[in-house]
């Protein structure tokens, strides 16, 4: 999938927030996740906010929904599953190609 | 400068917004600028929002202040000058080491 746009979206898409721990040096991981999501969803997303925090935090929120919380799920999100969770909120039904197949395998 | 924190900041720092053009493929440049600023200022910044747009936009805002607008200043911001502009709003007086010297030379 390359950077796709939906330039005639009247409404700006939802805000995605990636809260990450600076003490754990997770800035690069957080910006990598942001790049993956912005490459796939383009202007369907209103914005992705990188929020520096401390204490081992790594939380991804779409609108009001927490779609990943390291404290709950331990470790880091797999990109295919994360993209599927974002797609279901940002552009329901949007095909993600191999990402859908990878997410389906992971869910088996 | 490595990733510095001011973990005992009571108040969250200001919001920085980087609005970039998806049609021009400026996502990677926008996330690079975000990484540079987050590496330097850490938790002194409240958040950096990557905002996908169209039409050649590349605008960097700190709080309510536009510190770079491609439509006005043409081209892209130099990192030392941008860091100095952010420092003056986020952490006035914070030394930026070689960045300060580079920004001073650029301003000559």
Residue B84 belongs to what domain range? 15-107
Residue A61 in 3-state DSSP? strand
C-alpha to C-alpha distance for A5 and B52, rounded to whole angstroms: 9
In a domain, B38, yes or no: yes
Which chain A residues are within 8 Å of B86, Cβ to Cβ? none
C-alpha to C-alpha distance for B18 and B65, rounded to whole angstroms: 12
In a domain, A30, yes or no: yes
In a domain, A5, yes or no: no
User: Confidence band (pLDDT; 50, 70, 90) for B101?
Assistant: confident
Query: CB–CB of B50 and A52 under 8 A?
Result: no
In a domain, B55, yes or no: yes
Q: Which residue of A has its CA nearest to B2?
A: A25
In a domain, B46, yes or no: yes
User: Confidence band (pLDDT; 50, 70, 90) for B9?
Assistant: very low
In a domain, B9, yes or no: no
Domain count, chain A: 1
In a domain, A4, yes or no: no
Q: What pTM was computed for the model?
A: 0.87
Can you name the residues that pair with B59 across neighbouring β-strands? B19, B69
In a domain, A9, yes or no: no
Rounded to an integer, what is the distance from CA A83 to the centroid of its chain? Answer: 6
Task: Give the closest-approach CA distance of A52 to chain B in angstroms.
Answer: 5
Instruction: Kindly report the CATH number assigned to the domain that includes residue B64.
Output: 3.40.30.10
- Does residue A94 surpass a pLDDT of 80? yes
ipTM entry: 0.87
Question: Average pLDDT of chain A?
Answer: 89
Which residue from B3, B25, B47 is facing A51, i.e. has the nearest CB? B47
Kindly calculate the radius of gyration of chain B based on its CA atoms and give it in whole angstroms: 14
C-alpha to C-alpha distance for A47 and A34, rounded to whole angstroms: 10
Task: Give the closest-approach CA distance of A107 to chain B in angstroms.
Answer: 30
Percentage of the residues of chain B whose pLDDT score is greater than 90: 76
Instruction: For B52, list phi and psi in degrees, rounded to 5.
Output: -70, 130
> For an interface test with B, which of A43, A44, A50, A56 has the most B Cβ atoms less than 10 Å from its Cβ?
A50
- The three-state (H, E, C) secondary structure of chain B, written as one string: CCCCCCCCCCCCCCEEEEEEECCCCCHHHHHHHHHHHHHHHHHHCCEEEEEEECCCCEEEEECCEEEEEHHHHCCCCCHHHHHHHHHHHHCCCCCCCHHHHHHHHHHC
Query: CB–CB of B48 and A53 under 8 A?
Result: no
> For an interface test with B, which of A6, A17, A38, A61 has the most B Cβ atoms less than 10 Å from its Cβ?
A38
Contact at 8 Å (CB) between A22 and B3? yes
């Amino acid at each position: 999938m390359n950077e796709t746009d939906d330039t005639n979206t009247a409404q700006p898409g939802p805000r995605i927030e990636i809260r990450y721990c600076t003490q754990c040096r997770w800035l690069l991981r957080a910006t990598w996740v942001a790049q993956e999501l912005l490459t796939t969803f383009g202007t369907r997303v209103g914005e992705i906010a990188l929020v520096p925090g401390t204490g081992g935090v790594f939380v991804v929120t779409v609108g009001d929904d927490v779609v990943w919380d390291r404290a709950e799920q331990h470790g880091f999100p797999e990109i295919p599953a994360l993209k599927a969770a974002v797609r279901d909120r940002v552009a329901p039904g949007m095909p993600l190609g191999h990402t859908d197949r990878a997410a389906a395998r992971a869910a088996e």
